Amino acid sequence: MSYTERILSDGENREAWLAARHSIIGASDTAKLAKPESVELYLRSKLADSSFTGNAYTESGHRWEPMMLAWAGIPANKALIHSPHEKGFAATPDGILPLFGDALRGAECKAKHGRVVDGPSLAEWRQLAWQFLCVPEFDSIEFIWVELMDGEIRAELNGEPKSITVTRQHPKIIQLSQQILPIAHDLLGRLRAARQFEQELLAS
């Protein structure tokens, strides 16, 4: 089954995309999955109602993401794609570039405000590991970021983003994939039970 056959939502409708994420574990969820003993906290966070619709930082990300993708030559993606092994595990990579055969290159874009960094944070490494798990067609993911000072790219960078290419064989990807999966399976089981309970309450 190709990744195009595993799309839960094409992302064109924001409400439909959010509804599709309601009962799955996504990359933003796995960014937090550090401790097996904290799975109940992760569940409460997932179940919590949220009226969050964005802030200055998310708006900045939306502003800079198209430029980062164009700079890297990777088409944008809005689709929520589930793993071929578990429909409850899914991710929305920022970009997807078809390569030879069935291989793909992904893209993950970040805006860094007032910070100079040399690559992904630990939470972002978890997100990258999750994208490799959900989209095994990725042979690599381009991690692209802009370093912003007062809302614009640092002058020293001459208007250029920075990037590194991460492969699925990277030691951090292998290590974090092994750490995340047991926690994610536990969390997904509890999430499904909670959603089922919600449905039963609504039906009663």
Could you give phi then psi for residue 163, rounded to 5 degrees? -155, 160
For residue 85, give its domain range: 3-48+75-203
Q: pLDDT digits over 152-166, tens only?
A: 888 788 789 999 999
On whether residue 165 sits in a domain, the answer given is: yes
- Cβ atoms 23, 191 nearer than 8 A: yes
Q: Exposure of 33 by Cβ count < 10 A (0-12 exposed, 13-18 middle, 19+ buried)?
A: buried
Mean pLDDT of 2-21: 95
Q: What is the pLDDT of residues 44-70, one digit of tens each?
A: 999 985 544 444 445 555 789 999 999
28 phi and psi angles, rounded to 5 deg: -65, -30
Residues in the chain: 204
72: three-class secondary structure by DSSP: helix
Question: Is residue 63 in some structural domain?
Answer: no
Q: Is 65 within the bounds of a domain?
A: no
Average pLDDT, the chain: 91
Measured on CA atoms in the order 108, 72, 154, 66, is the torsion positive or negative? negative
**pTM for the model:** 0.91
Residue 95 has pLDDT above 80, yes or no: yes
Through-space distance between the first and last CA atoms of the chain, rounded to whole angstroms? 38
Measuring CA to CA, which residue among 99, 102, 101, 83 is closest to residue 91? 83
pLDDT beyond 90 at 202: no
pLDDT of the residue at 53? 45
22-26, 52-56, 176-180: the lowest-pLDDT one: 52-56
The count of structural domains within the chain is 1
d(CA 18, CA 14): 6
Q: Is residue 69 part of a domain?
A: no
The answer to whether position 83 is within a domain reads yes
Say which CATH number the domain at 144 has.
3.90.320.10
The verdict on residue 141 lying in a domain is yes
67 domain residue, yes or no: no
56 within a domain of the structure (yes/no): no
- β-pair partners for 148: 113, 153
* 26's tokens: 């996504």
Lowest-confidence range among 136-140, 159-163, 176-180? Answer: 159-163
